[in-house]
Structure 1
Amino acid sequence: MRANFVLVALSLTISRALGAQNIVQTNCNVYKGRSDTTEGVTRWLGMRYAAPPVGKLRFMPPQNPNCVDGVQEAFQRNKYCLSTDTAPTDPSTSEDCLFIDVFAPINANALSRLPVFFFIQGGGFNANSNRNLDGQGLIKASNHSIVVVTFNYRVGPYGFITDGDRITPNNGLLDQRKALQWVQSNIAQFGGNPRHVVLGGASAGAASISLQLAAYGGRDFGLFHGAAAESISFATVLTVEQSQYQYDNFTRRLGCAHGNNWNFTSSLACLRSKSAAELQTQNHNIPYPGASGPPLFMWNPVVDGDLLRDVTYSSFAQGKFVKVPMLIGDDTNGGTIFTPKTTSTLRQSDEFLHNQFPYLRHDQLSTINTLYPNKNSSLCPGAGCYWRQVSNAYGDMRYTCPGLFISSQVALRGVKGSWNYRYDVRDPDQVRSGLGVPHVVEVNAIFGPQNVDGSPPRSYLPGGINAQVVPVIQGYWTSFIRSLDPNKHKHPSSARWDPWTETGQRRLLFQTEGVTAMETVNHTAQVRCQYFNSIGPTILQ
């Protein structure tokens, strides 16, 4: 029987190499994809990279998928993972959500060994927010010379709850590693090269990149070989013990705390007995201890002494990360979509920041306010006149300064390849609404506006004022994916992207209408980031 299985696997490999029927063998499962001859791309959607994390596997590390006889059609995406603060009846989500998608050039085969772009979606570790991205735009921009992978991972309590005993911490991050291991085992059958995998990610996806780089004290398991990160997020990272209040509160609200129900010998058994719909009714954020209101994103990775051994600032400052070439950047107005537009007083500004970073002291908030004076004048005549002040502070503190810090650490550790950028492409509608150039808007250009979920900025669509930025940024990204250098295959009209150095602090500036140029980080921004870097470890970033 084993011999027959080997013969079947061999014949399927040969069939794939000849381009017949788009059938691939993945571990013990066989999938059939669908080709788009117009675009020159084949898609395999909704394949399992792990077993359904339900029943006894709820809150457990990801397990291998079950073997299924026969050829399975991989023609459409499956449901994405349950999000915090979403309705339990949302038909697009499910607890059974660990699926992976592969996009490859139509003529790729098991001998092609093309570079692989493995994109981790964002969502603050509380949602899958970049779902349904289509890799065809990047593949076409690369002259059909790369493979693109997207996937779901568990978020909210499903991926990040722990009780300090029976629940393994950071299961959402372990899902990501399981997907990377799946790529190592299977991507060659789709035409990809497991020895040339470039991580991509936006927001929490970019934070995931930083955490995977620092995982297990920076030990290199050979799962990836470069990284392109949009808006790395340094959130509050608690220890397992400090996060215990989240588990206790969640079980109490669900009637699963010790002593609440005599039918259950443990709160964990009780949680596993609940339906996903029941869990969702109580899946919402609560304040950190000592904070006045809930943070935007409560469920986060935790320092567990194993996968994550320190907060992110400290891990990178100590050089405990995988040393690979990195392309990192952020948006000019990264905080505007998160901060309350009604912020009208300095006290409200401080309160918002403290709710996100509860270990901020009063003297530190005072220094931040000095570094970020309110430009709307001291009179503050109308509702929301502190919105931009708190947006600027939050955007720099959580996104921009951490990204610059990692670029510096990569360069200081002698890695051949550290590049940084600022995205300042102004969409008229977003500017008119007051958002400026908001958080991870560049994802629309990187994948192409027709290949993202939802409504992209109108100016990015064909004929729009910013349509020209799409081939420019795709040129840099696909060049980096292909060669670990954004310049080698860049768009001919774009500027040369000089590497980042701590002394030079030079980064690429993306501008309206697709114009690019190098710029030096100005003195004010450097001073602000130096301060945030100095307090980062003490406030658990």
Structure 2
Amino acid sequence: MRSSLLAGLVGVSSVGAVKPLVDVSYSKYQGVSLENGITQWLGVRYAAPPIGDLRFAAPCDPVKNKTTIVADTFGNTCLGTGSAASNTSSEDCLFMNIYAPSNATTGHPLPVYFFIQGGGFNTNSNPNYNGTGLIEASNHNIVVVNFNYRVGPYGFLASEEIVKGGSVNNGLKDQIKALQWVQKNIRKFGGDPDHVVLGGASAGAASITLLLTAHNGRNDNLFHATAAESQSFAAVRSINESQFMYDNLVIRTGCTNSNDTLACLRGLNATYLQTKNINTPFPGAQNPPLYMYGPTLDGDVVSDLTMAAYRKGNFIKLPAIYGDDTNEGTVFVPVNTSSVGESNTFLKDQFPLITTSQLRQINKLYPNNASNQFPNSGTWWRQASDAYGELRYNCPGINVSDIYAATFNRKDIYNYHWDVVDPVAAAAGRGVTHTVEINAIWGPENTRGNAPASYSTVNAAIVPVTQAYWTSFIRTFNPNTYRLKGSPEWNAWTQSQKQRLHFVTNATAMENVDAVQRERCAYLSSIALDIAQ
């Protein structure tokens, strides 16, 4: 198959046209030209395999490979916490995919959409989405890049030993490495390195906030606008506060008696290490959190708490989209949550610095509604879901938008509220769930079977509307320039007009944030630094 592809692919003949065979200095990658006028390069290595001595180390440049690689197969995803190694996941996982119009030219490079997948920094949960739908929605006027980065202990283990003998925040450093790769190479694929828009969902959107605030907000000109979906504001811990994760892993793996515990961990077979790659409770909590590993305060890449960096103005001030879904918490909270004690325990497990007095106030802001019950669920499930969703996702997005507008008087900050109701999720009580809009942005046929069926039936009309806004923002830093005819203007979030776009199938319109939600968010914002967001 590979030899026939090599023989059959023919480059575009126009002057400066990008050809499927691209030389990135260390390797040559043979892309595949599709019948829809798009060429794709799958499984392009952007960093050396992070194995052996490079486990727990910062990413390094790929080793030169003189052979031509047929880029028709996705690279492995990165090993996730709580999962076994498989045929499609590996420690050798630092690959990206590039999608570009087949008629793209190096002389007139196109805007680049660089997408960071989510997964709570513990898994790669949105791998290898198909970028062709976005390119078609843009009338073949953008290039799309997505990629894998290390997660769990491979990407975020932190301790004194790691600082001395390795590197912390390697998952974020993988992202920076991939962005640097784009700066160096994307023009060869028809992309413009001076027009890169970061997109991301959940932990991918958290990554956007972390990259904006990295190095105290230093602008290395790696990207030029951002679009964050369900930006996640988890607690950020210091090296010392993260030491327990390293110590527990050393104990579980039997490396305790080694004089060099880091060398011992590096010497373990990945298959065995995965059997010990689990979450344990944070100090002060009772149960393991949803996601234990995550970005760490290192005084370098992560130089401050995320919300503190925003409040101090230590972030890159670029055109931006922030937004969330109506029911951010329902897919996370245990569905059998049946008491205020279980609700508060769940919140404490995720944010161990939260105090009992703060929990008491949260309970007042989020009273349990006895009539708001759903099939096969505990009586406090939706109460806990509402509190957790706004604490970690909705309110940080609103508060960050306020900081942009009020403190820096930006007129190019856009906020949205995704409220497209899927009948199946609604009947189950999940409502409009975390990052579900990703299926409309990419197109429901391009998200590896994860889209609700309604996005191809009763909610199909929302897809072209959403894609037009997103591709317009990617192309011009303004979602309105190429918005779908008949769709409303997406007004910027300003100090005087705190408006967001309310996405509803066949009824999308601007809305104000209601006073009750603003009151809740004001309180949650007031405790953000207390709980290390």
Aligned length: 520
Separation in 2 of the partners of 1:382 and 1:331?
23
Separation in 1 of the partners of 2:375 and 2:111?
55
Name which of 364, 379, 389 aligns with 2:383.
Answer: 389
Instruction: Check whether the contact 1:15–1:23 (CA below 8 A) recurs between aligned residues.
Output: no
In the superposition, the TM-score normalised over structure 2's length comes to 0.95
Q: Deviations over 1:8-56 (max 9, x none)?
A: xxxx99989565751111132211100112x211100001000000001
Separation in 2 of the partners of 1:338 and 1:173?
24
Name which of 414, 417, 425 aligns with 2:409.
Answer: 414
Q: Per the alignment, do residues 418 and 20 of structure 1 end up closer, same or farther by CA in structure 2, a change over 3 Å counting?
A: closer
Aligned partner of 2:516 in structure 1 is 524
Aligned partner of 1:4 in structure 2 is none
* C-alpha deviation, 1:273, in angstroms: 0.7
SS in 1 for 2:240: coil
Aligned partner of 2:321 in structure 1 is 327
Name which of 90, 93, 98 aligns with 1:97.
Answer: 93
SS in 1 for 2:418: strand
Q: Per the alignment, do residues 16 and 172 of structure 1 end up closer, same or farther by CA in structure 2, a change over 3 Å counting?
A: farther
Instruction: Check whether the contact 2:18–2:190 (CA below 8 A) recurs between aligned residues.
Output: no
**Runs (5+) with no aligned partner, structure 1:** 1-11
Q: Per the alignment, do residues 478 and 253 of structure 1 end up closer, same or farther by CA in structure 2, a change over 3 Å counting?
A: same
Amino acid paired to 2:312:
Q
Aligned partner of 1:349 in structure 2 is 343
Aligned partner of 1:85 in structure 2 is 82
* C-alpha deviation, 1:377, in angstroms: 5.9
1:134 aligns with 2:127: no
1:303 aligns with 2:300: no
1:108 aligns with 2:104: yes
1:161 aligns with 2:168: no
Aligned partner of 1:30 in structure 2 is 28
Q: Deviations over 1:104-145 (max 9, x none)?
A: 001112222100000000000000000120101110000000
Separation in 1 of the partners of 2:464 and 2:374?
42
Q: Trace 1:248-263 onto structure 2 (pairs within 5 A).
A: 248-257=247-256, 260=257
1:267 aligns with 2:266: no
Q: Which moved more, 1:413-422 or 1:522-531?
A: 413-422
Separation in 1 of the partners of 2:336 and 2:381?
7
1:510 aligns with 2:503: yes
Separation in 1 of the partners of 2:119 and 2:97?
18
Instruction: Check whether the contact 1:446–1:470 (CA below 8 A) recurs between aligned residues.
Output: yes
Separation in 1 of the partners of 2:344 and 2:390?
15
Name which of 432, 446, 453 aligns with 2:441.
Answer: 446
The 4+ residue runs of structure 1 with deviation greater than 4 A are: 12-21, 377-383
1:318 aligns with 2:312: yes
Aligned partner of 1:217 in structure 2 is 216
Aligned partner of 2:62 in structure 1 is 65
Q: Which moved more, 1:191-200 or 1:109-118?
A: 109-118
Name which of 385, 398, 406 aligns with 2:392.
Answer: 398
Q: Which moved more, 1:66-75 or 1:14-23?
A: 14-23
Q: Per the alignment, do residues 381 and 435 of structure 1 end up closer, same or farther by CA in structure 2, a change over 3 Å counting?
A: closer
* C-alpha deviation, 1:414, in angstroms: 3.2
Separation in 1 of the partners of 2:166 and 2:87?
28
Amino acid paired to 1:150:
N
Instruction: Check whether the contact 1:326–1:410 (CA below 8 A) recurs between aligned residues.
Output: no
Q: Deviations over 1:182-235 (max 9, x none)?
A: 000000000000000000000000000000000000000000000001000000
Instruction: Check whether the contact 2:419–2:502 (CA below 8 A) recurs between aligned residues.
Output: yes
Separation in 2 of the partners of 1:380 and 1:28?
56
Separation in 1 of the partners of 2:18 and 2:483?
33
SS in 2 for 1:172: helix
In the superposition, the TM-score normalised over structure 1's length comes to 0.94
